Amino acid sequence: MGKKVLIVGGVAGGASVAARVRRLDGQAEVIMFEKGPNVSFSNCSLPYHLSGIVENADSLVLMDPLQFKNQYDIEARVNSEVLKISREEKNVLVRNVETGEEYTESYDKLFLSPGANAITPRSIEGITSKHVFTVRNVVDIRRLQSYLLENEVENVAVVGGGFIGVEVAENLKMAGRNVSLIEALDQIMAPFDYDMAQILHKEMMDNGIDLILSDGVKAIHDSEVELASGNRVKAEAVVMAIGVAPETSLAREAGLEIGITGAIRVDHNYLTNDPDIYAVGDAIEVFHKLTGKPTRLALAGPAQRQARAAADHMYGIPHNNNGVIGSSVVRIFEINAASTGLNEKNLKAAGMNYDFVYVIPGDMVGLMPESQPMHFKLIYEVPTGKILGAQAIGKGNVDKRIDVIATMITMGGTLEDLKELELCYAPPFGTAKDVVNFAALVGLNILYGRYRQVPVTKVRELVEEGAFIVDVREPHEYSRGHLTTAVNIPLSQIRNRFDEIPKDQPVYLHCRSSQRSYNALLALQNAGYDNVVNIAGSYLGISLYEYFNDVKLGREKIVTAYNFR
Ligand SMILES: Cc1cc2nc3c(=O)[nH]c(=O)nc-3n(C[C@H](O)[C@H](O)[C@H](O)COP(=O)(O)OP(=O)(O)OC[C@H]3O[C@@H](n4cnc5c(N)ncnc54)[C@H](O)[C@@H]3O)c2cc1C
């Protein structure tokens, strides 16, 4: 008789544990409990049902209990909630949520993968109303979609600008509804820094999302939402997506240790403080590879990796727990946005020494009709040049670039390594010196003190204090939109016009994407200028950064017109 393995939770982590155990051990008795009616569904695809990209909600369920039984000899018990763990007796109390019947099931080893719950603060008046929804499983998405269709809902408020909120908002808009996205912070998508997030804000606004930042929901009424600012937003349906809290009730009650982040504490093998109980997925606390601190990470890839590692450990198979770095990607209408590692906000909070480059090269050879600018921010440790994080936004394959950086981070790579990284190239795919190589070169130039830069976030200050700014684009580009105080001296003329550029004050340079201004900067440095500074991000970056703030905050423009291409 093989060992008896029980699993709580039948989706990303739980189903992966079950499948791995079976692959390793033909004799084990494997029972997976899922309180909902479905196991093994694609949580990540749920929002796409709202637009009809995933037409049939049934297809969100990847495998049913019968398939688990027939294909893997795994017993998947749906509508079965585990109510209690008795560690002494080594059993769990289970309730059939349909019949109310309760029974105990003993285990040799227990795996917890109960996931996380959507946060719905009771302090918000009206939060329990029937037109307030969360999106966590197939039942939720069916319920939301039927409500929207049956009530012919036109206006929906989505609360929370994280991955789920943004994807839900996008898909509701694609279905033709009026969508307000309400976020309490001053930006959506926390993995991105404020400068990069402006590009996402613009995309949301360009696609007709009513984007409301720095405001929270105070009360939900029948057909409107009341905000902390006193403003009101029309909404006959509300989707709450302000974040998730790890599901720890079973673990707490059983006396399993909870970590400082509020998630279940596990060791490097995903064992809890009970040698017969493992825990994986959204419910656990993980180790951040770069900060060395405990953190939480609600993503499918890590959940599945942890599941495999935990099952392996039970069979004595070693694995290397490298911790997490947090790699993710999202599509927002026409743009793709990916990030990995730490961003500036994380680094400041961790007190780490860093610098960054913001470059906007083409994502493929410019002659290719699909070529698009890619906004790429690469963050590295000072003085080591060790790569700490990256963010990429564009219409092209940002995920490929971020995956390269994720690999670099995982292997402890530096700017020097990234500079030398040999990547595949042909014009429809990239450039001979890929975006990531290019970012490394710029980073090395800055790290080694070959030149200095200021970020786009500082440009307003420069304009307001009357700094000497040279726009080195051609006159026809300048005439289409420029910084109100910038002087136009194109790169093609700069060597003959040094006399127009003062030597006794700092000179700030920009072009469209910082490449020509970098060459202009070198020309000036070679001509004896010792206080020249490049504006990272240049006019494309400035336009994107300023646009949202100008439109939303109604502040005075520092550009004559924006230029986004
Ligand atoms: C809408 C949405 C979109 C997402 N998109 C992405 C994405 O694009 N990329 C990405 O990497 N991640 C994404 N995620 C996150 C990803 O789905 C989760 O990180 C992953 O599913 C976590 O796996 P898990 O096993 O810990 O939890 P889950 O997959 O959530 O499974 C936990 C299951 O346990 C069950 N359960 C809880 N308590 C009990 C109990 N006491 N008894 C029985 N059953 C119980 C729950 O009902 C639940 O079904 C998304 C999540 C959502 C909701």
Q: β-strand 277-279 against 178-182: which pairing, if any? A: unpaired
CA of 269 to the centre of ligand 1 (A): 20
Spatial separation of the C-alpha atoms in residues 12 and 280, rounded to whole Å: 10
Tens digits of residue pLDDT in 394-449: 999 999 999 999 999 999 999 999 999 999 999 999 999 999 999 999 999 999 99
AA letter at 316: G
457, two tokens: 């976030």
Res. 376 pLDDT band, cuts 50 70 90: very high
**Token representation of residue 564:** 């986004």
Q: What is the pLDDT of residues 306-352, one digit of tens each?
A: 999 999 999 999 999 999 999 999 999 999 999 999 999 999 999 99
Radius of gyration of the chain (CA): 27
* Residue 246 beta carbon below 6 angstroms from any ligand 1 atom: no
How do beta strands 91-96 and 80-86 pair? antiparallel
Inform me whether the pLDDT recorded for 1 exceeds 80: no
pLDDT confidence tier of residue 556, bands split at 50, 70 and 90: confident
Pocket flag, ligand 1, residue 81 (CB < 6 Å): yes
Distance CA 54, CA 57 (A): 7
Query: Do residues 226 and 157 lie in contact, with contact meaning Cβ atoms separated by under 8 Å?
Result: no
Nearest CA to ligand 1 atom 37: 114
* CA–CA distance, 437 with 434 (Å, rounded to integer): 5
Tell which one of 44, 136, 166, 331 to mutate to probe ligand 1, the residue whose CB is within 8 A of the most ligand atoms: 44
- Cβ atoms of 134 and 28 closer than 8 Å: no
State how far the Cα of 54 lies from the Cα of 45, in Å rounded to an integer. 8
User: Is residue 302 lining ligand 1, measured as CB closer than 6 Å?
Assistant: no
Q: What is the signed CA dihedral for 133, 137, 143, 149, rounded to 10 degrees?
A: 90
If you write DSSP's letter for every residue of 223-247 in order, what string do you get? SEEEETTS-EEE-SEEEE-S-EEE-
The sheet that has 155-159: what strands, in order across it?
132-133, 237-240, 155-159, 178-182, 210-212
**What are residue 262's phi and psi, to 5 degrees?**
90, 5
Over range 31-60, report the average pLDDT.
96
Evaluate if residue 555 carries a pLDDT over 90.
no
Alpha helices in 434-514 (DSSP H): 435-447, 459-464, 475-479, 491-494
Q: What is the pLDDT of residues 494-510, one digit of tens each?
A: 999 999 999 999 999 99
Cβ–ligand 1 contact at 160 (below 6 Å) = no
- pLDDT at residue 388, as a whole number: 98
State residue 489's pLDDT score: 98
Distance in angstroms (rounded) separating the CA atoms of residues 32 and 8: 6
The β-bridge partners of 246 are 116
- CA-proximal residue: ligand 1, atom 16 (nearest): 300
- What is the number of the ligand 1 atom nearest to the C-alpha of 116? 30
- Interior/surface letters 400-424, b for 16+ CB within 10 angstroms, e for the rest: bbbbbbbebbeeebbbeebbeeebe
Prior bond of 383 cis (ω within 30°): yes
Predicted TM-score (pTM) of the model is 0.95
Contacts of 412 (CB under 8 A, 6+ apart): 386
* DSSP H helical ranges for 274-421: 300-314, 344-350, 398-410, 415-420
Strands 468-471 and 109-112: unpaired
Nearest atom within ligand 1 for CA of residue 39: 49
Give which of 243, 241, 387 is closest to 327, Cα–Cα. Answer: 387
Give the model's confidence band at 545: pLDDT under 50 very low, under 70 low, under 90 confident, else very high: confident
At 441, phi and psi to the nearest 5?
A: -65, -45
pLDDT band, residue 91 (cuts 50/70/90): very high
Work out the number of other CB atoms within 10 angstroms of the CB of residue 465: 8
56 Rama sector, left if φ>0, alpha if ψ -120 to 50, beta otherwise? beta
Q: How confident is the model at residue 565 (pLDDT cuts 50, 70, 90)?
A: confident
User: What mean pLDDT is reported for the chain?
Assistant: 96
Q: Cβ(247)–Cβ(116) under 8 Å?
A: yes
The answer to whether the CB of 300 is under 6 A from ligand 1 is: yes
Share of the chain above pLDDT 70, in %: 100
Ligand 1 center to 300 CA (angstroms): 8
Instruction: Output the CA torsion 531→535→539→542 (10° steps).
Output: -130
pLDDT number for residue 550: 76
All domains of the chain, ordered by start, with CATH? 4-116+246-314 (3.50.50.60), 132-242 (3.50.50.60), 328-450 (3.50.50.60), 453-553 (3.40.250.10)
Q: Which two tokens stand for residue 101?
A: 């019947």
Q: Whose CA is nearest to atom 7 of ligand 1?
A: 44
Distance in angstroms (rounded) separating the CA atoms of residues 193 and 337: 12
* Contact call for residues 232 and 225 (beta carbons, < 8 A): yes
Coil/strand/helix, residue 513? coil
Which of 136-140, 364-368, 549-553 is least confident? 549-553
Write the CB contacts of 321 (distance below 8 Å, at least 6 apart in sequence). 268, 269, 287, 309
The alpha carbon of 474 and the centre of ligand 1 are apart by a number of angstroms equal to 52
DSSP string computed for 88-109? TTTEEEEEETTT--EEEEE-SE
Q: Is the pLDDT of residue 226 over 90?
A: yes
Centroid of ligand 1 to alpha carbon of 304 (angstroms): 11
Q: Using one digit for the tens of pLDDT, what is the confidence trace for 98-139? A: 999 999 999 999 999 999 999 999 999 999 999 999 999 999
Label residue 66 by pLDDT band (50, 70, 90).
very high
Structure confidence by residue, pLDDT tens digits, 453-499: 999 999 999 999 999 999 999 999 999 999 999 999 999 999 999 99
For residues 238 and 222, give the distance between their C-alpha atoms in angstroms, rounded to a whole number: 10
Which atom of ligand 1 lies nearest, measured to the CA of 244?
53
- Tell me which H or E stretch contains 322: none
Read off the pLDDT of residues 263-283 as tens digits, 9 standing for 90 and up.
Answer: 999 999 999 999 999 999 999
What pLDDT is attached to residue 71? 95
pLDDT score of 563 more than 80: yes
Please report the pLDDT score of residue 546 as a whole number: 87
Among protein residues, the one whose CA lies closest to atom 28 of ligand 1: 115
Residue 553 has pLDDT above 80, yes or no: no
Length of the chain: 565
